[in-house]
Amino acid sequence: MAVVAHPDDAELLCAGTLARARGDGASVGVCILCRGDKGQPADRVSNLAAVRRREAAASARLLGAKLFHVGFGDGALFDGPAQRRKVIDVLRAFRPTLVLAHAPEDYHPDHRAAAALAEAASWLAASRGQATRRPPLDAPPAVWWMDCLQTTGFEPGFYLDISDFVEIKRRMLACHASQLARAADRGFAALDALAERQQTLRGAEAGVAAAEAFRCHRAFQRLRAW
Ligand SMILES: [Zn+2]
């Protein structure tokens, strides 16, 4: 399960890996914490959160993933007790063995909050002391930190070869038309070109055509033998 801040973050940072896992027979989930309601100026797309919800749903259908919307506001994501309870409940519904999370050093404040929230909630989801509607997980899932946008500031621990999954990743990202339409905005990168450059660069580092980079969360009870 990818736990991400915004509706297009999984497409940018881990869609190839999710598609590869799906191809290997894994159940794949995407948990989107924020509505994407401030993803562009308010006067351009009316009801942006609803538009982005539809875009994310189309992308999840392509992937064959179960999609969870938590519904926090953009720019207002924090790791706190109420937020943790909501994410714990999503994790207990999907019951992942592996969580892909934003890197704690990511550039975007919502991504950093999402990193803290995913880490805390995925630990507490296995705690019998944390009562929610659903039973606790059998064990805390492993956590892999995802690459940062444009690779900036992220030190990879390992790479996933996504060479056979670049087309589905491209089609998933293309579902996010409202964000791709921002390519002409000053200071806003063309996301499809950016994703392609990033997977090619990470692929070159790892000796394959295309790759996504991650780092294991090295903590007590979080490491696995794969
Ligand atoms: Zn984001």
Å from CA of 158 to ligand 1 middle:
22
Å from CA of 110 to ligand 1 middle:
7
More confident residue, 70 or 186: 70
d(CA 81, CA 138): 22
Å from CA of 27 to ligand 1 middle:
23
Q: What is the pLDDT of residue 42?
A: 64
Å from CA of 135 to ligand 1 middle:
30
Q: How many CA atoms lie within 13 A of 39 on its CB side?
A: 29
Q: 3-state DSSP: the chain helix, strand, coil percent, rounded to 5?
A: 45, 15, 40
Q: What is the pLDDT of residue 70?
A: 97
Instruction: Give the domains, in start order, of the chain with CATH numbers.
Output: 2-216 (3.40.50.10320)
Residue-wise pLDDT for 41-100, tens only, equals 766 777 899 999 999 999 999 999 999 999 999 999 999 999 999 999 999 999 999 999
Query: How open is the CA angle 198-107-164, to the nearest 5 degrees?
Result: 25
Å from CA of 56 to ligand 1 middle:
13
Å from CA of 120 to ligand 1 middle:
19
Å from CA of 139 to ligand 1 middle:
28
Residue-wise pLDDT for 188-217, tens only, equals 778 999 999 999 999 999 999 999 999 999
Å from CA of 131 to ligand 1 middle:
30
Q: What is the pLDDT of residue 92?
A: 98
